[in-house]
């Protein structure tokens, strides 16, 4: 995979088709007989068709996503049944210089874009240093830099990191720990696999779907929502 593209990996899953079916059957009997196993595909299809979606909340899909900032914003707009933790440019000094390059740009524009983004990263790293000295002086009430204590410099560097991040472009990539329940995952796919969705989030959603299909655990649940 191109180092400048977004990517997703599956950390793990909990539950699946059987979990969803058993949740639905709680209203009667949860015993799982061979005859009831055969009924699972139709049961799940009927639940989805009739919008009885609560049984699909009883499973979890856990992913690690690296994406540009715009796509990250799309992900965090999904707040119900979705948990997102992401690396912070405020608390973490960025070292990897990860950034996204649009795949559908002409090659000449991609090359120019990469050069400009690398310049911004170089400026970011420089500014972390110069702003650390600047804020050290402020915190030390204009004392000479040579007498600034390690405690003052640590506090100053924290402000320098969070302030220097404003230099970085939307192309800056961050890594996110994302967990969906299946109902929320299906809703995410419905919106983000739409042909009108932004290309980057659409491709990421397709990557997520492909990974979940490979597990086999959600075959009939995916089919119930139209993802065979």
Range of the domain at 125: 107-167
CATH code assigned at 32:
3.30.1360.170
pLDDT, tens only, 145-200: 666 788 888 888 999 999 999 999 999 999 999 999 999 999 999 999 999 999 99
Question: Do 181 and 161 have their domain in common?
Answer: no
Write down the pTM of the prediction: 0.90
In a domain, 95, yes or no: no
Print the SS3 string covering 38-93: HHHHHHHHHHHHCCCCHHHHCCEEEEEEEEEHHHHHHHHCCCCCEEEEECCCCCCC
Question: Do 17 and 74 have their domain in common?
Answer: yes
Question: Do 20 and 83 have their domain in common?
Answer: yes
| Full pLDDT tens readout for the chain, 228 residues | 568 899 999 999 999 999 999 999 998 888 899 999 999 999 999 999 999 999 999 999 999 999 999 999 999 999 899 999 999 877 788 889 999 999 999 999 999 999 999 999 999 999 999 999 899 888 777 666 666 788 888 888 999 999 999 999 999 999 999 999 999 999 999 999 999 999 999 999 999 999 999 999 999 999 999 998
Residue 196 confidence (pLDDT): 95
Cα angle 196, 65, 11 (rounded to 5 degrees) comes to 125
Could you tell me if 6 and 66 are in contact, meaning their C-beta atoms sit under 8 angstroms apart? yes
The runs of H, that is alpha helices, within 140-215 are: 150-164, 182-192, 199-215
In a domain, 99, yes or no: no
In a domain, 100, yes or no: no
Could you tell me if 41 and 13 are in contact, meaning their C-beta atoms sit under 8 angstroms apart? no
């Amino acid at each position: 995979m191109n180092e400048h593209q977004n990517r997703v990996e599956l950390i793990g899953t909990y539950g699946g088709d059987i979990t969803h079916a058993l949740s639905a059957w709680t209203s009667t009997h949860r015993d799982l007989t061979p005859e009831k196993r055969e009924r699972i595909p139709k049961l799940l299809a009927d639940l989805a068709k009739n919008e009885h979606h609560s049984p699909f909340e009883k499973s979890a899909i856990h992913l690690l996503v690296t994406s540009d900032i715009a796509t990250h914003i799309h992900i965090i707009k999904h707040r119900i049944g979705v948990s997102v933790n992401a690396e912070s440019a405020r608390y973490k000094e960025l070292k990897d210089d990860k950034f996204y390059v649009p795949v559908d740009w002409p090659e000449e524009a991609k090359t120019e874009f990469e050069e400009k983004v690398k310049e911004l990263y170089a400026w970011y790293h420089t500014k972390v240093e110069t702003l650390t000295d600047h804020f050290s002086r402020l915190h030390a009430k204009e004392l000479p830099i040579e007498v600034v204590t390690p405690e003052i410099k640590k506090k100053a560097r924290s402000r320098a990191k969070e302030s220097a991040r404003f230099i970085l472009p939307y192309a800056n990539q961050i890594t996110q720990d994302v967990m969906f329940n299946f109902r929320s995952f299906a809703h995410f796919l419905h919106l983000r696999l739409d042909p009108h969705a932004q290309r980057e989030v659409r491709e990421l959603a397709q990557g997520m779907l492909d990974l979940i299909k490979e597990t086999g655990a959600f075959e009939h649940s995916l089919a119930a929502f139209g993802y065979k």
